[in-house]
Amino acid sequence: MIDLSEEPVEENIKTTADYLKRAAPMKQWLEMEIGITGGEEDGVNNESVDNASLYTQPEDIHNIYKTLMPISPYFSIAAGFGNVHGVYKPGNVKLHPELLSKHQQYVAEKEGIKDDKKPVFLVFHGGSGSGKQEYLDAIQHGVCKVNLDTDMQYAYTEGIRDYMIKNKDYVSSQVGNPDGADKPNKKFYDPRVWVREGEKTMTKRVAVALEDFNSANKL
- Which pLDDT tens digits describe the chain residue by residue (219 residues)? 999 988 999 999 999 999 999 999 999 999 999 976 544 444 444 455 555 567 899 999 999 999 999 999 999 999 988 887 555 455 555 788 899 999 999 999 999 998 878 999 999 998 888 889 999 999 999 999 999 999 999 999 999 999 999 999 999 999 999 999 999 999 999 999 999 999 999 999 999 999 999 999 987
Domain boundary among 147, 166, 194: 147
Measured distance CA(204)–CA(219) in Å, rounded = 19
Cβ-Cβ contacts under 8 Å for 195 (sequence gap 6 or more): 160
Which residue positions form the known binding site? 3, 33, 85-86, 125-128, 147-150
Q: Are residues 142 and 179 in the same domain?
A: no
Q: Do residue 140 and residue 63 come from a single domain?
A: yes
Query: Whole-angstrom Cα distance, residue 16 to residue 74?
Result: 12
The annotated binding site for dihydroxyacetone phosphate is made up of 86, 126-128, 147-150
Q: What is the dihedral of CA 39, 120, 142, 27, to 10 degrees?
A: -90
| pLDDT at site 45 | 42
Regarding whether 173 and 115 lie in a shared domain, the answer is no
- Looking at residue 117, which CATH number applies to its domain? 3.20.20.70
Q: Note the pLDDT of residue 51.
A: 56
Binding residues for Zn(2+): 3, 33, 85, 125
Look up the pTM and report it: 0.83
Residue 112 and residue 71 share a domain: yes
pLDDT at residue 160, as a whole number = 99
CA distances from 189 to 2, 58, 99 (A): 38, 53, 49
Q: Is residue 160 part of a domain?
A: yes
Q: Which domain holds residue 56?
A: 9-147
Q: Is the domain of 117 the same as that of 142? A: yes
Looking at the fold, whether 103 and 174 belong to one and the same domain comes out as no
Residue 4 belongs to some domain of the structure: no
Predicted local distance difference test score (pLDDT) of residue 43? 42
Task: Select from 106, 128, 147 the last residue of a domain.
Answer: 147
Total domains present in the chain: 2
| Confidence (pLDDT) at 114 | 87
